[in-house]
């Protein structure tokens, strides 16, 4: 198969994204939250587990410790008891208590609104920061999770699609360069939702996939 030119790839990316836009017209953040602080904590808790599990523990957590001030003064063992179902509860409890303390002391009790500041918080990397920026503040952010890595690879939206250990920061830079900033957050949501519904990790449903006409990986698992 001849190498696709950069221009052709970009045209295909936009055409495929149009299909995803029609398929998923109003994507929403799957984590439940009422404030930016709650989304930040929920996202830290969501590492290595499902959003459903996180949504199962956050009502009890936020009923008791709904602000940075309250959570920063929490007893770690009591927090661990509440968040136990999300796994890695010891580390996660330490992170959310520490980041609450940092927000209280370094940011006047308010979740900061920049990538640079958010990533100074305990347990917060670029993916979490992008989730908070895009979903809590309406600031363009493109979270790269396992679904985004898989989809951008299979669709060959990124040039290192052959890589078995792709770099999420590189993916973020390469994909965001191809789309308008106001689209970044929903682009990530749509890729994640489409990865969950159709382009599964082990057995993608290529036969019924609306992208199978143009996807370079279509049918590889048949």
Instruction: List the catalytic residues.
Output: 127, 145
- Judge whether 206 is annotated as a binding position: yes
Residues in contact with ligand SF4 by the rule CB under 6 A: 154-155, 198-199, 204-206, 209, 211-212, 215, 217-218
Token pair 């493109």 is found at 142
- Judge whether 29 is annotated as a binding position: no
- Judge whether 199 is annotated as a binding position: yes
CA–CA distance, 189 with 148 (Å, rounded to integer): 9
Nearest residue to 216 via CA among 153, 149, 150, 145? 153
For the bound state, the minimum distance from the C-beta of residue 150 to ligand SF4, rounded and expressed in Å, comes to: 8
CA–CA distance, 25 with 58 (Å, rounded to integer): 27
Between 42 and 206, name the residue whose CB sits nearer to ligand SF4.
Answer: 206
Token pair 């940011």 is found at 107
For the bound state, the minimum distance from the C-beta of residue 159 to ligand SF4, rounded and expressed in Å, comes to: 17
For the bound state, the minimum distance from the C-beta of residue 206 to ligand SF4, rounded and expressed in Å, comes to: 3
Nearest residue to 99 via CA among 42, 20, 22, 34? 42
Per the annotation, binding residues are 199, 206, 209, 215
Name the binding residues for [4Fe-4S] cluster: 199, 206, 209, 215
């Amino acid at each position: 198969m001849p190498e696709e030119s950069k221009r052709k790839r970009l045209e295909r990316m936009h055409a495929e994204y149009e299909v995803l836009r029609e398929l998923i017209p109003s994507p929403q953040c799957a984590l439940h939250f009422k404030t930016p602080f709650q989304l930040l904590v929920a996202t830290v808790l969501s590492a290595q587990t499902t959003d459903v599990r996180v949504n199962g523990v956050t009502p009890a957590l936020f009923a008791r410790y709904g602000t940075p001030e309250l959570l920063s003064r929490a007893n770690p063992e009591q927090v661990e008891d509440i968040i136990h179902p999300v796994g890695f509860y010891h580390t996660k409890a330490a992170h959310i208590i520490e980041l609450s303390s940092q927000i209280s002391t370094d940011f006047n009790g308010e979740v900061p609104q920049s990538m640079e500041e958010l990533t100074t918080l305990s347990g917060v990397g670029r993916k979490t920061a992008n989730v908070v920026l895009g979903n809590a503040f309406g600031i363009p952010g493109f979270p790269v999770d396992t679904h985004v890595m898989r989809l951008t690879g299979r669709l060959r939206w990124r040039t290192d699609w052959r890589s078995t250990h792709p770099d999420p920061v590189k993916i973020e830079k390469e994909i965001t360069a191809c789309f308008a900033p106001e689209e970044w957050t929903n682009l990530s949501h749509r890729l994640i939702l489409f990865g969950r519904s159709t382009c599964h990790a082990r057995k993608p449903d290529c036969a019924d996939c609306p992208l199978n006409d143009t996807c370079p990986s279509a049918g590889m698992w048949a």
